[in-house]
Amino acid sequence: MLSHFQAQEYSTYAYRFLESRTNEVAQLWSVGWDEVFSPLYNWSGNQRKDVGKYIFQYTVSGYGMIEIDGKEYKVDAGKAFIVNIPGNYRYYLPKESENWEFIFLTLYGDEVQKCWDYIQSTHSPVIRFHPESAPVQLLAQIYKRASEKHIADPFHASSLSYRFVMELYQYIKSMDSFTEDWPESIISSILFARNHYHEEIGPDEMADAAHLSRYHFSRLFKQTTGITPIQYLTKLRIQKAAELLHQTKYSIEEIAENVGYANANYLTKVFRKTTNMTPGQYRKSDASIDEHFALPK
């Protein structure tokens, strides 16, 4: 499975473009990847000098805390906070946390402000993003381009920034199941499934990721999501297979291997049962897999 979250050189890249036509819409101020280990890591939103900037910070591993208007939020793996500069908040590494690894993006411009204002007015300031979500993958791509010195033009930087804003809008619009009252154990199991669906995993491995017994996990998962763990895994794999059928020229055998099935025959059997089409029929059609089912985000 394609993933941008592998070993990285930690660094921060700052940009100071003077092109007003891009700066007024959406522009890149900085992008970085870092890991901190000391409680001395402590930033106050009221003491920052970069006025008119907007931060998106996503946790890769470990966890940190952010206090916003007197309320504390844990920002562990898979979660991001979205804040303005200046603002009444403080984010830091608590003494209980061994490390906090994160990737961040700082933007500015009218469209960025509108997006941040919208998200803050309709959602929690700390939001879960699965690792394969479009905003997180684009953030990793922007960091990679920055590290390779491929961002030197203000129009290119603005295009990336505006695209990130649009991906955020799209993700927020499609959020339908990850709510604050979901048990952390179930969220952990779903993130595990999304990261490892291409491997030979099943409900037992998902239960391990949730740190629950198989029996208790299965009951809680069905109660929370409305489907069983094996149904979730099946739908996730079929959804990924459908994406590969429409977006690549991989053979059915290759796609089966990429989504965790032993062979093309088994993938075809499950795909037909789920969608009423064979993989070959689906590839030739313009149907959307969303017409058949929707997964929790």
Q: How many CB atoms lie within 10 A of CB 9?
A: 6
Q: How many CB atoms lie within 10 A of CB 232?
A: 23
Q: pTM for the complete prediction?
A: 0.63
- Residue 77: the pLDDT is 86
Tokens of 248: 């690549």
- Residue 291: the pLDDT is 52
Query: With 90 as the cut, is the pLDDT of residue 176 above it?
Result: no
Q: How many CB atoms lie within 10 A of CB 95?
A: 8
In tens, the pLDDT along 21-59 reads: 888 899 999 999 999 999 999 999 998 888 999 999 999
Average pLDDT of 159-187?
A: 80
- Residue 290: the pLDDT is 60
pLDDT range class, residue 193, cuts 50, 70, 90: confident
From residue 164, alpha-carbon distances to 13, 26, 80, 114, 142 in Å are: 17, 9, 14, 13, 9
Q: Using alpha carbons, select from 262, 270, 267 the residue that is nearest to residue 292.
A: 270
- Residue 124: the pLDDT is 86
- Residue 4: the pLDDT is 47
DSSP H/E element including 106: strand 100-108
Per DSSP bridges, beta strands 79-85 and 126-128 are antiparallel
Identity of the residue numbered 110: D
Query: With 90 as the cut, is the pLDDT of residue 297 above it?
Result: no
Tokens of 16: 């100071």
DSSP H/E element including 83: strand 79-85
Rounded Cα distance between 228 and 222, Å, is: 5
- DSSP-assigned beta bridge partners for residue 34: 102
Query: With 90 as the cut, is the pLDDT of residue 186 above it?
Result: no
Domains, in order of start, for the chain: 11-177 (2.60.120.280), 184-293 (1.10.10.60)
- Residue 3: the pLDDT is 42
Query: With 80 as the cut, is the pLDDT of residue 179 above it?
Result: no
- Residue 189: the pLDDT is 87
Tokens of 77: 């793996």
List all residues 6 or more positions away from 43 whose beta carbon is below 8 Å from its beta carbon.
90, 91, 92
pLDDT range class, residue 122, cuts 50, 70, 90: confident
In sign, the C-alpha dihedral spanning 241, 247, 249, 250 is negative
